[in-house]
Amino acid sequence: MGNCWGSSSLHEQSHNSSTNQDASRNYSNTMELSATTSSSNCRSQFSEAVSEIVEERNPDGQILEMPNLKVYTFADLKNATKNFKSDTLLGEGGFGKVYKGWVDHRTLQPSKIGSGMVVAIKKLNPESMQGFEEWQSEVNFLGCLSHPNLVKLLGYCWEEKELLLVYEFMARGSLENHLFRRNPAIEPLSWDLRIKISVGAAKGLAFLHASDNQVIYRDFKASNILLDGNYNAKISDFGLAKFGPSGGNSHVTTRVMGTYGYAAPEYVATGHLYVKSDVYGFGVVLLEMMTGLRALDTKRANGQQNLVEWLKPSLSNRRKLKTIMDVRIVGQYSSKAALQAAELTLKCLETDPKKRPPMKEVVEALERIEALKVKVKGKDSQSGSSQSSSHHVQQPARHHYRFQTSNGADN
* CA proximity to 213, closest of 19, 1, 4, 2: 4
Cα-atom radius of gyration of the chain, to the nearest Å? Answer: 21
Quote the distance between the C-alpha of residue 155 and its chain's center. Answer: 18
Task: Tell me how far, at minimum, the Cβ of 254 lies from ligand ATP, in Å.
Answer: 18
CB 253 within 8 A of CB 36: yes
Residue 289: phi and psi, rounded to 5, are -65, -40
Nearer to Mg ion, 336 or 398 (CB): 398
Task: Tell me how far, at minimum, the Cβ of 223 lies from Mg ion, in Å.
Answer: 5
Q: Which of 133, 176, 237, 410 binds Mg ion (CB under 5 A)?
A: 237
Task: Tell me how far, at minimum, the Cβ of 39 lies from ligand ATP, in Å.
Answer: 24
Nearer to ligand ATP, 99 or 207 (CB): 99
Quote the distance between the C-alpha of residue 108 and its chain's center. Answer: 24
Gap between the Cα atoms of 170 and 102, Å rounded? 13
User: Is residue 123 annotated as involved in ligand binding?
Assistant: yes
Task: Give the CA-trace dihedral at 180, 185, 187, 188, to 10 degrees.
Answer: 10
Q: Exposed, middle or buried: residue 59 (CB in 10 Å: 0-12, 13-18, 19+)? A: exposed
Task: Tell me how far, at minimum, the Cβ of 295 lies from ligand ATP, in Å.
Answer: 12
Residue least distant from Mg ion (Cβ): 237
Nearer to ligand ATP, 91 or 261 (CB): 91
Q: Exposed, middle or buried: residue 202 (CB in 10 Å: 0-12, 13-18, 19+)? A: buried
Task: Give the CA-trace dihedral at 107, 109, 114, 117, to 10 degrees.
Answer: 40
Residue least distant from ligand ATP (Cβ): 93
95, interface contact from ligand ATP, Mg ion, none, CB < 5-8 Å by kind: ligand ATP
Q: How many C-beta atoms lie closer than 10 Å to residue 144's C-beta? A: 26
x-marked contacts with Mg ion along 203-232 as a string, rule CB under 5 A? ---------------------x--------
219 is catalytic: yes
| Binding status of residue 130 toward Mg ion by CB under 5 A | no
Q: Which residue among the candidates 76, 192, 219, 278 is catalytic per the annotation?
A: 219
Q: 271 Cβ partners below 8 Å, 6+ apart?
A: 33, 34, 35, 36, 253, 254, 255, 256, 405
x-marked contacts with Mg ion along 74-93 as a string, rule CB under 5 A? -------------------x
Task: Tell me how far, at minimum, the Cβ of 12 lies from Mg ion, in Å.
Answer: 26
174, interface contact from ligand ATP, Mg ion, none, CB < 5-8 Å by kind: ligand ATP
- Which H or E run contains 121? strand 117-124
92, interface contact from ligand ATP, Mg ion, none, CB < 5-8 Å by kind: ligand ATP
98, interface contact from Mg ion, ligand ATP, none, CB < 5-8 Å by kind: ligand ATP
CB 163 within 8 A of CB 157: yes
Residues lying near ligand ATP in the complex (CB under 6 A) are found at: 90-95, 98, 120, 122, 151, 167, 169-170, 173-174, 177, 223-224, 226, 236-237, 394, 402
* CA proximity to 222, closest of 273, 309, 151, 294: 294
133, interface contact from Mg ion, ligand ATP, none, CB < 5-8 Å by kind: none
Nearer to Mg ion, 161 or 398 (CB): 398
Task: Tell me how far, at minimum, the Cβ of 92 lies from ligand ATP, in Å.
Answer: 6
Name the binding residues for ATP.
Answer: 123
Annotated binding site: 123
Q: Which residues are catalytic?
A: 219
Chain positions contacting Mg ion, by CB under 5 A: 93, 224, 237
